[in-house]
Structure 1
């Protein structure tokens, strides 16, 4: 809990403007670096789920990764904004402002503060394959609908994963993706159509 005497969060750590009834996709990651596949996945979700905004939750540090070589948050945010280059795609460091480290805590805080907003958790198929390793992953699925964006080479591992099997009965047909943000969780959809094989890991290796 932020103390009464604490300084307000830096501008990049503030929660972006929103209003009741909005559909907002939450796309978390270190974005090290952000790239065109992030943008393409966001635009696909924006269209297929009929979202008003997609927030790129640029994390201060991924709890599942070694963060010692991670560039500063403000630098990654600046680079992400340059890549996003779209009025509905909003990179934000709000997790730094909220003081949350795990995705569950971030989602829980947003749902609690803004009950009239329709949040949807967005993630690539590669993350679904490892979703069962996330802290409180079942609780995330119980808080907000989830949209999985397919990635080349990740489909089989994602759909065979423990999380996909555990959530199988709540999967929504892709043809009904537009109603996902309005559904009571748990509910999830698997979106096809993203062709880019880019990943942040590959780009760092090339650099």
Structure 2
């Protein structure tokens, strides 16, 4: 099976932003542009996942369809959208978790300076992710503040466990060059958009 990844080159600084993107929205683009600027990245890849293995995927649109819609929303040449994880999931049973994806990428493209990007809501539950310690040890990561999660995220078990490897926000542009574990919490303008809310609004009957 051929897995189609965006172009890579040695030394390229790439942010990895994963999710179901069901649907992609302007908030995803806002986070990506913030990461590009504050982390001095060359590219951000939206990793459109086959679906959260802990949730019901029966009503989830195919990854290819979600990726096609996400490309329209991204509207930035620095943002690449890929559903290559769907190929991993189909071609190699068991590759359904973020830790497996990051392991696959770093083992094959160790010359690329990857940074994992997540929202503050994800940091709040990061300790429940499969292999979260390996994720932190495999590549630096950036946490983007989200409304309602600032305090919860920073008081989370993962944030406390990894407190010693957190870098100052003023040094965010150096994150991609640092050996993991290393992470930064980025404050700034926050988007209130969410895919869950957009799906709920779309399913409501007109007044």
**TM-score for both structures, normalised by structure 2:** 0.93
SS of 1:57 mapped into structure 2: strand
Deviates more, 1:59-68 or 1:84-93: 59-68
Partner of 2:65: 75
SS of 2:164 mapped into structure 1: helix
Write out aligned runs for 1:85-124 (5 A): 85-99=75-89, 100-124=95-119
Alpha-carbon separation, structure 2, partners of 1:166 and 1:19: 33
Tell me by how many angstroms 1:64 deviates.
2.6
Alpha-carbon separation, structure 1, partners of 2:121 and 2:29: 16
Partner of 1:33: 23
Tell me by how many angstroms 1:97 deviates.
2.5
For these two proteins, the number of residue pairs brought into alignment is 197
Q: Deviation digits for residues 52-111 of structure 1, max 9, x if unmatched?
A: 110000001112322111111111011100100100111101112333310000001110
2:10 pairs with one of 11, 16, 20 = 20
Alpha-carbon separation, structure 2, partners of 1:157 and 1:139: 22
Partner of 2:47: 57
1:128 pairs with one of 114, 123, 128 = 123
Deviates more, 1:136-145 or 1:191-200: 191-200
**TM-score for both structures, normalised by structure 1:** 0.93
1:173 pairs with one of 165, 168, 173 = 168
Alpha-carbon separation, structure 2, partners of 1:62 and 1:121: 17
Give ranges in structure 2 of 5+ residues lacking alignment.
Answer: 90-94, 203-207
Alpha-carbon separation, structure 2, partners of 1:19 and 1:113: 12
Alpha-carbon separation, structure 1, partners of 2:186 and 2:154: 12
SS of 1:185 mapped into structure 2: coil
Partner of 2:205: none
Alpha-carbon separation, structure 2, partners of 1:125 and 1:23: 22
Alpha-carbon separation, structure 1, partners of 2:71 and 2:54: 24
Partner of 1:3: none
Alpha-carbon separation, structure 1, partners of 2:175 and 2:201: 37
